[in-house]
Copies of this chain bind each other. A is one copy, B any other.
Amino acid sequence: MEIVEWKDRRKNRGITDSGLTHECGVFGAIGNKHWPCNSEIAQFICIGLEALQHRGQESTGIVVSEGTNDYHYHKGMGLVKHVFSNESISKLTGSLGIGHTRYSTSAKSEQVNCQPFVVHSMHGALAVAHNGELVNAAILRKQVLDRGVGLSTHSDSELITQALCLNPPDGEVNGPDWPARIRHLMQLAPLSYSLCLMLKDKIYAVRDPYGNRPLCLGVILPPNQELINGEIGNIQPEGWVVSSESCAFLSVTRYLREVLPGEIVEMTHAGLKTIDIVPPPLDKSLAFCIFEYVYFARPNSLFEGQEVYAVRVHCGMQLAIEHPVEADMVGSVPESGNAAAFGYAQQSGIPLGELLTKNSYVGRTFIQPNNRLRQMNVALKFSPILRNVKGKKIILIDDSIVRGNTVGPIIKLLRRAGAKEVHIRVASPPLKYPCFMGINIPTKDELIMNKLKNTKEFAKQVDADTIEYLSVDGLVKAVRKEIKPTTKSVGHCTACLTGEYPGGLPQELDW
């Protein structure tokens, strides 16, 4: 039954499996008690969401509160800059709020699925923004439906919202105990989410017990003040923020720390407070998504105390160690392979240079192109730089290869531009398994390394001289190289590479 449910969920979300896609970004902000109750908090969140736009371009939304149950919100399909006009922002008055960006392509009912999700409950208004995917959504959904609740969408957000509204099993005597409800939900559904919940005058920032999805905290500084050794000290902050990634902490905002796996942080006008830390189920270890490092996050974001860019450089260096090759120049598929190419060049001593230039305006696709037009469309996106390619032996670095559709045409372009040798180096291991924790991965049959015997066959197919991947061990090593010993309980999810799911999950599924 669950298998059906998995397939159904994907179908119902209109997933077309066109590549790796993120599962969203969340951002919340709350001013201190002096923060003016105008639209500035909404603008603040809006800028934060733009910095998280890479995590989802399908839809976006912001909900703000003036500290009462009368929320203002605006949601819509498309990019942050298109959904929020000056007019729509100006109506979002408040002193706290949460926002969301959502991934993927659209289906007929998508407008309904825009987050944050808002409901009126018997204990006031509740808004929910969610990054991740409930692994046991089917079970939780059944529980909610069995209580007699109708669900109007297939989204995890609505499910989480209604699950929080239903009484906690042991009842509540003196009004609602939201932390208890959140804790209860986390026990029912330990994987995977980073959540922002808004309740009247509070925001709860919650990360699942496995720490699978990222979430971090920041502080809004007063003018001309600065953290000392990363500590607030005597500063009176102007407000606090929570974000999927620290790349959204801009200008006056400073990074404080990550929300810990399983942590419930209460954000009020007075500051941040840890309410509880829910551990993962017995005998399970932490499982932060390793692909956040490899592919999803912005290079300047911080996870586990280190910069993503630095990790990617280490991946490139490790790749040079594992798969060296003689060449005249190392370059990347812009811009995703830049950091790894830098690392590979540094480790190997081969000069670093641009091999391809990218056209950022590309987008038109024709319904039924003939072959001539189809080839032109591919060529439109990347163009070889003759100076660095012609007559040269080159190493082209990419961060990952999913279906392998693009590498062939790119090599063709490079060959036609006169490349003498083309060596492909991939700064992560081959993708082989599905993700049930918020990342869309194409079906098994579409993953290139499930279709081919080995990288030799792959190289032959796409006319590369060689193709080599980083090993799983190499990746883990690169990821952990700079993590400080003080960082608690490190653990990474490599399920899509190894099939080893956190919590011993459904790797037996015929996905």
Cβ-closest chain B residue relative to A162: B150
Contacts of A150 in B (CB 8 A): 119-121, 126, 161-162, 164-165
A375 contacts B53, C-beta separation under 8 Å = no
Q: Are B81 and A117 in contact (CB under 8 A)?
A: no
Given contacts A148-B147, A367-B86, contact A361 B50 (CB under 8 A): yes
* Residue pair A46, B251 in contact (C-beta under 8 Å): no
Quick check: B307 and A387 within 8 Å, CB to CB? yes
Is residue A188 contacting chain B, with contact meaning CB distance below 8 A?
Answer: no
A451 within 8 A of B: no
A278 an interface residue at 8 Å Cβ cutoff?
A: no
Most chain B Cβ neighbours within 10 Å, of A73, A79, A108, A250 = A250
Task: Tell which of A81, A111, A363, A385 has the most Cβ of chain B within 10 Å.
Answer: A385
Contact A251 B375 (CB under 8 A): yes
Interface residue stretch chosen among A206-214, A320-328, A352-360, A498-506? A352-360
Does the CB pair B148–A361 fall under 8 Å? no
B-facing residues in A334-353 (Cβ within 8 Å): 334-335, 338-339, 342, 346, 351-353
A90-128 at interface with B (beta carbon < 8 Å): 91, 108-109, 111, 117-122, 126
Q: Contacts A122-B148, A150-B126, A150-B161 hold; do A354 and B339 have CB atoms under 8 A apart?
A: yes
Determine the residue in chain B with the shortest Cβ distance to A101. B361
A491 at the interface (CB under 8 A from B): no
- State whether the Cβ of A51 lies closer than 8 Å to any Cβ in chain B: yes
A377 to B: closest C-beta gap in Å: 6
Which single member of B111, B152, B313 contacts A111 (CB below 8 Å)? Answer: B111
Which residues of B lie under 8 Å from residue A152 when comparing CB positions?
A: 117-120, 152
Are B373 and A50 in touch, CB under 8 angstroms?
no
Given contacts A53-B361, A81-B363, A361-B81, contact A251 B378 (CB under 8 A): yes
Smallest Cβ-Cβ distance to A364: which chain B residue: B81
Verify if A509 is at the interface (C-beta below 8 Å from B): no
Interface residue? A510 (CB, 8 A):
no
Cβ proximity bits A134-148 to B, threshold 8 Å, 1 near / 0 not = 000000001001111
Does any Cβ of B come within 8 Å of A480's Cβ? no
A122→B108 contact, CB < 8 A? no
Taking CB atoms, residues of chain B closer than 8 Å to A57 are 361
Q: Which residues of B contact A51 (CB under 8 A)?
A: 359, 380
Query: Quick one: which of A31-55 are within 8 Å of B by CB?
Result: 40, 43-44, 46-47, 50-51, 53-54
- A40-B370, A309-B387, A380-B51 known; A108+B364 contact, CB < 8 A: no
- CB contact under 8 A between A79 and B109, given known A148-B167, A251-B375, A387-B307: no
Report whether A109 and B361 are in contact in the complex, using a CB–CB cutoff of 8 Å: no
For A162, what are the chain B residues with a Cβ–Cβ distance below 8 Å? 149-150
The complex places the Cα of A307 from the Cα of B352 at a distance, in Å, of: 19
Q: Is the CB of A79 within 8 A of B120?
A: no
Closest B residue by C-beta to A112: B112
Given that A300-B385, A372-B251 are contacting pairs, would A47 and B148 also be in contact in the complex, using a CB cutoff of 8 Å? no
Chain B, residue nearest A253 (CB): B376
B353–A342 contact, CB under 8 A?
Answer: yes
Residue of A47, A73, A81, A148 with most partner-chain B CB within 10 A? A148
Given contacts A126-B150, A252-B375, A309-B354, contact A383 B50 (CB under 8 A): no
> Are A310 and B387 interface neighbours, CB within 8 A?
yes
Task: Determine if B145 and A122 form an interchain contact, defined as CB atoms under 8 angstroms apart.
Answer: yes
Smallest distance from the beta carbon of A80 to chain B beta carbons, Å?
Answer: 6
29 A-B residue pairs with CB within 8 Å: A43-B369, A44-B372, A47-B380, A50-B361, A50-B362, A50-B363, A53-B359, A54-B359, A72-B108, A73-B109, A74-B108, A80-B364, A119-B152, A120-B150, A121-B145, A122-B146, A122-B148, A150-B164, A150-B165, A152-B152, A247-B383, A250-B375, A251-B379, A252-B375, A298-B359, A299-B354, A300-B357, A307-B387, A339-B354
Query: Which A residues lie at the B interface, using CB under 8 A?
Result: 40, 43-44, 46-47, 50-51, 53-54, 57, 72-74, 79-81, 84, 86, 89, 91, 108-109, 111, 117-122, 126, 142, 145-152, 154, 161-162, 164-167, 223, 247, 250-253, 298-300, 307, 309-310, 313, 334-335, 338-339, 342, 346, 351-354, 357, 359-364, 366-367, 369-373, 375-380, 383-388
Given contacts A47-B364, A252-B372, A335-B357, 12 further A-B contacts (CB under 8 A): A80-B363, A86-B367, A118-B152, A119-B151, A147-B147, A149-B165, A149-B166, A223-B371, A250-B375, A309-B357, A342-B353, A360-B360
Closest 6 CB pairs of A and B: A119-B150, A81-B363, A122-B145, A53-B361, A148-B166, A150-B165
